[in-house]
Amino acid sequence: MATKKLNEVFDELKQQRDSLRLQIHLASAEAKDKWEELETRWDEIKPKLDQASRDAGKTGSEILDALELAGEAIKQGYQRIKRDLD
């Protein structure tokens, strides 16, 4: 169950990320800085998500919870950038 929820969070993040990527080239320098920070976090968390998905039967709930929290933080960052762009 936790893996399914985690995958849903990351699917939503990917959609937001793809949408923002299209708009970011028009953004201010500040938004671009925020974007770069979030991209770094995305690059750090994506391999962990992939590994957790592969090891779903072996992965502890604490790891899944931590990944979910990190995903939520990135999601909030994407939402702030989107608000700034609108």
pLDDT at 8: 85
Separation between Cα atoms, residue 77 and residue 30, nearest integer Å: 13
Global confidence as pTM: 0.54
The residue with greater pLDDT, 78 or 53, is 78
For 16-42, how does the pLDDT look when each residue is reduced to its tens digit (9 = 90+)? 988 888 877 776 777 788 889 999 988
Candidates 66, 74, 79, 62; CA nearest to 10 is 74
